[in-house]
């Protein structure tokens, strides 16, 4: 499913940044490098995650200010459950603190919080708080902040196939009638358009089982910056790279230009 970009004129701020003329409707970010950030400073890995939370806040606020409609953050993967139990426990505690402290920021900025993934696998306290904040912000329409938590792209596709399979078994769907649109509508958040832009920090070039179906036509921008060091300036740089890309979706340039 092709996603449309939204042209937005943005005035140069006091920081002297050049103007952005094209803002992606949906930005997805793989927030990588928290552990390496901490290791470089001889700190526990959880300190990297704690400092990474500051980058989350600044990025959310800037994305909202610029007019990004959907921001999806890869917060915790299904594979992350394999990490040492003390790190996973520290991350879960950090989730709770972040969900508690950031609710007022979301409400103030008109940001709706949503989650996608195997949420039932989360500790009860995290799960309940996440659901409460989703409920408290569901009426907001300034931007959707989507947290991919306990999320795996393959698992999402498997769940979609099971959903379609049940419909086939019940006689509600003819297998020959299955379309891309039907698969998309069976994913976790079917109302959310595919990402226009995927940003991955820390110079990693994998998509790491993230939004495997939805990233089909996303532009990918990789930055060497570790996530705790990801600033609004670096966010702007990534958006400028995106704005310079020529997105043809399989068509020729002549077709796009109408020649």
Is residue 104 part of the annotated active site? The answer reads no
Query: What confidence tens digit (pLDDT) does each residue in 105-127 have?
Result: 999 999 999 999 999 999 999 99
Catalytic: which of 32, 144, 194, 196? Answer: 32
Measure the CA–CA gap between 39 and 196, rounded to whole angstroms: 33
Provide the CA 219 distance to its chain's centre, in angstroms: 14
Q: Tell me the C-alpha to C-alpha distance, in Å, between residue 78 and each of 117, 205, 210, 218.
A: 8, 19, 10, 22
Measure the CA–CA gap between 230 and 51, rounded to whole angstroms: 10
Matching residue, tokens 């060497």: 224
Is residue 34 part of the annotated active site? The answer reads no
CB proximity list for 214: less than 8 A, separation 6 or greater:
1, 28, 187, 194, 195
Query: What confidence tens digit (pLDDT) does each residue in 199-248 have?
Result: 999 999 999 999 999 999 999 999 999 999 999 999 999 999 999 988 76
Measure the CA–CA gap between 58 and 251, rounded to whole angstroms: 37
- Look at residue 257 in the predicted model and tell me its pLDDT: 61
Catalytic: which of 34, 51, 80, 233? Answer: 80
SS3 state of residue 200: strand
**pLDDT tens, per residue, the chain with 259 residues:** 445 555 444 444 446 678 888 999 999 999 999 989 999 999 988 899 999 999 999 999 999 999 999 999 999 999 999 999 988 998 999 899 999 999 999 999 999 999 999 999 999 999 999 999 999 999 999 999 999 999 999 999 999 999 999 999 999 999 999 999 999 999 999 999 999 999 999 999 999 999 999 999 999 999 999 999 999 999 999 999 999 988 766 666 665 666 6
pTM of the prediction? 0.90
Q: Which two tokens stand for residue 79?
A: 């594979």
Which CATH architecture fits 6-151+194-245?
A: 3-Layer(aba) Sandwich (3.40)
- Look at residue 249 in the predicted model and tell me its pLDDT: 65
Measure the CA–CA gap between 42 and 168, rounded to whole angstroms: 55
CB proximity list for 124: less than 8 A, separation 6 or greater:
none
Cβ(38)–Cβ(112) below 8 Å: no
What are the domain boundaries of the chain? Answer: 6-151+194-245
């Amino acid at each position: 499913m092709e996603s449309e970009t939204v042209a937005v004129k943005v005035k140069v701020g006091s920081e002297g940044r050049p103007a952005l003329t094209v803002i992606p409707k949906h930005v997805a970010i793989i927030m990588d490098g928290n552990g390496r950030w901490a290791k470089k400073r001889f700190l526990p890995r959880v300190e990297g995650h704690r400092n990474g939370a500051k980058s989350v806040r600044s990025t959310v606020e800037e994305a909202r200010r610029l007019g990004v409609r959907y921001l999806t953050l890869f917060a915790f993967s299904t594979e992350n459950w394999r990490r040492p139990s003390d790190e996973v426990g520290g991350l879960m505690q950090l989730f709770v603190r972040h969900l508690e402290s950031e609710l007022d920021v979301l409400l103030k900025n008109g940001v709706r919080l949503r989650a996608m993934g195997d949420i039932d696998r989360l500790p009860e306290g995290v799960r309940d708080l996440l659901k409460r904040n989703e409920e408290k912000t569901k009426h907001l329409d300034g931007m959707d902040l989507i947290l991919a938590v306990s999320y795996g792209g393959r698992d999402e596709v498997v769940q979609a196939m099971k959903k379609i399979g049940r419909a086939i078994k019940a006689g509600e769907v003819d297998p020959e009638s299955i379309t891309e649109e039907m698969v998309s509508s069976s994913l976790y958040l079917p109302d959310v358009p595919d990402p226009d832009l995927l940003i991955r920090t820390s110079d990693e070039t994998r998509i790491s089982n993230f939004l495997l179906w939805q990233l089909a036509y996303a532009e990918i921008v990789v930055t060497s910056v570790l996530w705790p060091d990801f600033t609004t300036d670096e966010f702007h740089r990534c958006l400028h790279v995106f704005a310079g890309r020529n997105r043809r979706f399989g068509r020729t340039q002549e077709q796009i230009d109408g020649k």
